[in-house]
């Protein structure tokens, strides 16, 4: 055998060995491409900010969503969530996400009220009788999604927005003494946001819109006489019970609010279709999980505020609730007359609410009778 033939034979034997290895790999169910690097692509990282202090349960909700996405993508997308103020102030989230300073964020649409008043209709007000879950139904199936996209285009906001996480009815707020009549609101230095600014101004308050983390310090320094934020857990974690012992429950000023998950649109659109689908489904999964967690945590902290922190709780008088509705109608009528897009959103919500709330009121049984049967009657010794 010549030297050339020996080389050819060696090459043939090496080739056959390679094919044998490859064949075994195929038989084992793994395709091996010889001499080709199989390194995985780097994960996509996104830096987010919430509009909440790290100790608030709302920041926890933001982290819950991020974890769902991180887990569902198998680490291919990694979202890091920073607390309010880490990059921009809470009310600066929309601009930061739109410009790409942040890749996304967690907040509420009402915080963008200064950009377009119509954005406050996603939660700031009575919801025309809807609760927050029904308003989210309007958003997904009643035209709200398309209207929200139209608003963002009108203000050149480069964002993709996902309203989610229906909030229970929010309290009227924390006060120095019980509010018994409309006149008790006159002259109070009060914190709220969105269209509620106009409503409480109509009730005679001097309103200051502050982010959540700034409210209790302002009350402690006497810069505010009273304030509303959201729920028993957030209010307790933020320290409201340290500066007030009067908690007025039930209000129409934010009866149907929900959270917002937002992404920079350019970055979101550049994601693989599979990843975008995972995000959209993670939004809905997080929305339901948040609702379940809220029932558990809010009810526990409601009891703790009452029993341990010695907070006195009162239902807001009907006269004040009715006055809220009257003022809200006046405010929204003026805004609708000045802004066709505001009117379009308002009319769409009202049409959906008329149908949906009629169905609910005629269908869903009042839980008060069952509650009294199982708890109130037994507590009085009659059960």
CATH number for the domain harbouring residue 286: 3.40.190.170
pLDDT at position 379:
64
Mean pLDDT in residue range 360-366: 97
Residues 158, 162: Cα–Cα separation, whole Å = 14
Mean pLDDT in residue range 344-366: 98
Tens-place pLDDT, residues 242-265: 999 999 999 999 999 999 999 999
**Helix (H) or strand (E) run with residue 207 in it:** strand 206-208
Q: What is the mean pLDDT of the chain?
A: 90
User: 19 pLDDT band (50/70/90 cuts)?
Assistant: very low
Domain presence at residue 5: no
The number of domains in the chain is 1
Tens-place pLDDT, residues 96-108: 999 999 999 999 9
Residues 228, 215: Cα–Cα separation, whole Å = 9
Domain presence at residue 121: yes
**Helix (H) or strand (E) run with residue 104 in it:** strand 104-107
Domain presence at residue 317: no
The candidate with the shortest Cα–Cα distance to 246, out of 184, 323, 289, 334, is 184
pLDDT at position 383:
52
- State yes or no: pLDDT of 46 exceeds 70: yes
pLDDT at position 42:
85
6: tokens are 């020996």
Domain presence at residue 25: no
Residues 180, 19: Cα–Cα separation, whole Å = 87
Residues 125, 113: Cα–Cα separation, whole Å = 13
Side by side, the strands of the sheet bearing 44-50 are 77-82, 44-50, 104-107, 258-264, 159-166
The total number of residues shown for the chain amounts to 383
Domain presence at residue 160: yes
The domain of 153 spans 44-166+257-296
Mean pLDDT in residue range 182-197: 95
- State yes or no: pLDDT of 145 exceeds 70: yes
Residues 281, 331: Cα–Cα separation, whole Å = 36
Domain presence at residue 277: yes
Domain presence at residue 292: yes
Domain presence at residue 337: no
């Amino acid at each position: 055998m010549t030297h050339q033939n020996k080389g050819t034979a060696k090459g043939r034997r090496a080739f056959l060995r390679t094919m044998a290895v490859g064949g075994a790999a195929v038989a084992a169910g793994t395709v091996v491409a010889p001499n080709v690097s199989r390194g995985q692509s780097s994960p996509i990282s996104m830096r987010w900010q919430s509009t909440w202090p790290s100790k608030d349960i709302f920041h926890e909700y933001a982290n819950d969503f991020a974890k769902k996405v991180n887990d569902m993508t198998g680490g291919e997308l990694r979202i890091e969530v920073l607390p309010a103020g880490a990059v921009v102030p809470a009310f600066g989230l929309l601009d930061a996400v739109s410009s790409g300073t942040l890749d996304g964020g967690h907040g509420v649409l009402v915080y963008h009220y200064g950009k377009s008043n119509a954005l406050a209709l996603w939660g700031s007000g009575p919801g025309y009788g809807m609760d927050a879950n029904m308003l989210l139904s309007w958003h997904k199936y009643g035209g709200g999604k398309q209207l929200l996209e139209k608003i963002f285009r009108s203000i050149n906001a480069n964002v993709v927005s996902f309203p989610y996480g229906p909030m229970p009815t929010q309290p009227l707020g924390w006060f120095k003494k019980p509010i018994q009549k409309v006149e008790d609101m006159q002259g109070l230095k009060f914190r709220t946001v969105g269209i509620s600014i106009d409503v409480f101004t109509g009730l005679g308050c001097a309103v200051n819109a502050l982010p959540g983390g700034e409210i209790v310090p302002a009350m402690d320094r006497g810069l505010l006489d009273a304030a509303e934020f959201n729920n028993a857990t957030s209010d307790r974690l933020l320290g409201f019970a340290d500066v007030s012992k009067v908690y007025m429950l039930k209000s129409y000023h934010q009866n149907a609010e929900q959270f917002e998950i937002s992404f920079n649109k350019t970055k979101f659109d550049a994601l693989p279709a599979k990843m975008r689908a995972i995000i959209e489904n993670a939004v809905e999964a997080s929305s339901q999980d948040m609702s379940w967690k809220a029932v558990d945590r809010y009810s526990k902290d409601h009891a703790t505020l009452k029993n341990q922190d010695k907070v006195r709780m009162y239902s807001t008088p009907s006269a004040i609730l009715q006055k809220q509705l009257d003022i809200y109608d006046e405010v929204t009528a003026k805004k609708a007359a000045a802004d066709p897009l505001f009117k379009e959103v308002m009319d769409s919500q009202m049409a959906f609410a008329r149908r949906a709330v009629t169905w609910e009121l005629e269908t869903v049984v009042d839980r008060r009778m069952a509650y009294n049967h199982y708890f109130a009657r037994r507590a009085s010794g009659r059960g």
